[in-house]
Structure 1
Amino acid sequence: MFRRILLVPALLAVLATPAQAQTSSLRILLTNDDGYQAPFTLQLRQALVAAGHEVTIVAPAGDSSGVGTSINIRFGTTVEAAEMSPGVWAIAGSPADAVSFGIRTVFAGDPPDLVVSGPNQGENVAAAVNHSGTVGAAITAVEVGIPSVALSTARAGSAFPSAAGSVAFGVKLVNRLAATARNGRLLPAHTALNVNYPAVPTGEVKMARLGRMLPITVDYLPATDACPRCYRLAPLTATAPDPVPDADRTLLSSGAVTVTPLTSSWEAGPVVTSRLSDRLDGLTP
């Protein structure tokens, strides 16, 4: 079942299914933050190719989790990148570096129709998206006008029991976007979809709002065994419910696949901007 919550009309138009939609073949740049050999990404590539799409992997050479939108703009430096096998590129950099290199070099002069990032090993919900390399790669694509999808698979302890389901859903989602594109537009301008697949799916797909709380954060514990001034990082799991109604974190924990539209803009809304403008009125340099 697909539940529509707080969805802009343009996105509703994209996701609405025509009576006899035909899936178009897409040229896809596939990346992740787990490295070009990440098994979930290789499985998704195989499944997308089987569905008729042209897929090129451009991903970090190794694990680059938690680096957000970090990108190398130190002009004059060098970056190492190579095609490791046909259609599979590895770059010594972040996921954002991989997407930027892929668009400007691998797809030079003919950008991909879609960037897909993932499936990540672990969910990316609520405030965690600010630090996610998976989401950072997707945001890098929409910054230059290419629609993107970030796909993550929820954990159950240290396991991923729904990994195959997340791969299959990724193909279904890409096919739906292709089949419902209006005037060649897969998504509204400068829009990415942040998609999280639950560990135990209930069969529902729900549009979700971006939560505010980090599901897992970091605690700092004295570690004098390592050095007198050392602190050891330890996980600190959130137990309070997210304050946002229909938050992605909340709906994912209930077993729904969550879809949250994102943009690359961090600009505050007009109400906040107006109130701050009033408070700063008359302020001079």
Structure 2
Amino acid sequence: MRHTLALTAAAAALAGLGATAFAAAPAPTPAAERAHPAPRPLAGLRILLSNDDSMQAARANNSDGLGLYELRRAMCAAGADVVVMAPWQVQSGKGTAVTNGGVLTAQRRTALPAGYEADCADAPSGGAVFGVCLGEGGCAPDSPSATPADTVKLALRGGLAAKAGWKGAPDLVLTGINSGPNIAASVNDSGTVGAAVAAIDQEVPAIAFSSSGDESRLSFPRGNYRAHAEFGARLVAGLRERGLLTSAFALKVDYPDVSAGRAAKAPVWTRVGDGAVAYHAYERRGSGDAFDIVLGLCEGGESEGECAESRKDADSTWLLGKGHVTIAPITWDRTYGTPVEAARELKAVRRYVEREAPRP
């Protein structure tokens, strides 16, 4: 069974289009922790961070970039040098779209969301955050935005050198954390995944992170983002330690909803599902030329139509149905039947995920 919902504020929130209340600034670090600082397994690693939710983090339902700041926080805490270049406005659903002409402006954000100001204070780049808009003369509140893929391409093709002084490519591109999972058919539309694909297309390793929300409240709790970000930092550290950060394929990491006290289950190596969890539908207005864009939501148990899932190792099944963290490899090569050129790397990463990866 499936049904459609008009893209009202509630449905838009569920789709990741919806807004960020901020918690108070973190409590001061105890003296004991200052005397014995936590290990920094990502020290020396340069990370470009982008997303498709923007860098605004201003909406009450946390759907416009709060996950990006949680990911930035966790990576800097682990010792990485992080620079953010993200879309100026929400760009959910843009996939791998790029802008073919005009001007891009990368404008630094100086007043960061409350509680996140000092997260990267001791990093070489200071955790600089840039929003990328279209047009000259600075980015205004209503400026049109660059796409997720635009931001990564700009960063790798001169933006990081000009704005952060980096020589050469970053060691890793991270995208997200997205407000809502990117699973099954939604992966084709995902700007979070599209930005990661833009990175591996330039031979830079990339990981795309997406978190489930609280469906009962149509929101994306900070706790989900934080749990995912901290897991992500440990995952990246493990991959780095084993020499498994590769540009042969990107990794897509989806995290279940843990806001009600449920614990996320161990990571599972999956494929992208061949069914749908959500889809676009179009409802005609009377007999005229206009059609309302509506969000179709699949309910569990469908055995027919576009909602049906046939793969036992589908990301949607293991994430939504069983509560596991899901990890799937994503490639830029859309040629059907292409042999796996990095078979040894793929096998090694899969083995790490299945046997050695950190537990939530």
Fold shared per TM-score above 0.5: yes
1:110-259 equivalence runs, <5 A: 110-157=168-215, 158-161=218-221, 162-181=224-243, 186-187=245-246, 189-200=247-258, 201-224=263-286, 228-239=288-299, 240=302, 241-253=308-320, 254-259=322-327
Establish whether residue 95 from structure 1 lines up as the match of residue 154 from structure 2.
Answer: no
CA pair 40-246 structure 1, distance change in 2 beyond 3 A: same
Q: Which residue type is aligned with residue 31 of structure 1? A: S
Tell me, yes or no, if the aligned pair for 2:74 and 2:233 is still in contact at 8 Å.
yes
Shift of 1:80: 2.0
2: CA distance between counterparts of 1:141 and 1:106? 14
TM-score by length of 2: 0.64
Tell me, yes or no, if the aligned pair for 1:67 and 1:133 is still in contact at 8 Å.
yes
Give 1:3's aligned residue. Answer: none
Shift of 1:25: 3.1
Q: Which residue type is aligned with residue 177 of structure 1? A: L
Q: Paired residues, what number?
A: 243
Give 2:157's aligned residue. Answer: 104
Decide which moves more: 45-54 or 102-111: 102-111
Shift of 1:186: 1.3
Residue by residue over 1:182-220, the C-alpha shift from the partner in whole angstroms, topping out at 9 and shown as x without a partner, is xxx512x42100110011444211000111122101222
Give 1:30's match in structure 2, choosing from 43, 49, 58: 49
Unaligned runs of 5+ in 2: 1-40, 57-64, 111-125, 134-145, 162-166, 303-307, 340-360
1: CA distance between counterparts of 2:46 and 2:240? 11
Residue by residue over 1:116-145, the C-alpha shift from the partner in whole angstroms, topping out at 9 and shown as x without a partner, is 000000100112111100000000000010
Is the partner of 1:80 in helix, strand or coil?
strand
Q: Which residue type is aligned with residue 112 of structure 1? A: P
Residue by residue over 1:213-249, the C-alpha shift from the partner in whole angstroms, topping out at 9 and shown as x without a partner, is 221012222324xx83222122212242411121001
Residue by residue over 1:97-134, the C-alpha shift from the partner in whole angstroms, topping out at 9 and shown as x without a partner, is 00011112233341000000000001001121111000
2: CA distance between counterparts of 1:58 and 1:243? 38
Tell me, yes or no, if the aligned pair for 2:277 and 2:297 is still in contact at 8 Å.
yes
Unaligned runs of 5+ in 1: 1-21, 272-285
Give 1:15's aligned residue. Answer: none
2: CA distance between counterparts of 1:180 and 1:24? 15
Residue by residue over 1:26-53, the C-alpha shift from the partner in whole angstroms, topping out at 9 and shown as x without a partner, is 1000000011231111121122111100
RMSD: 2.0
Give 2:119's aligned residue. Answer: none
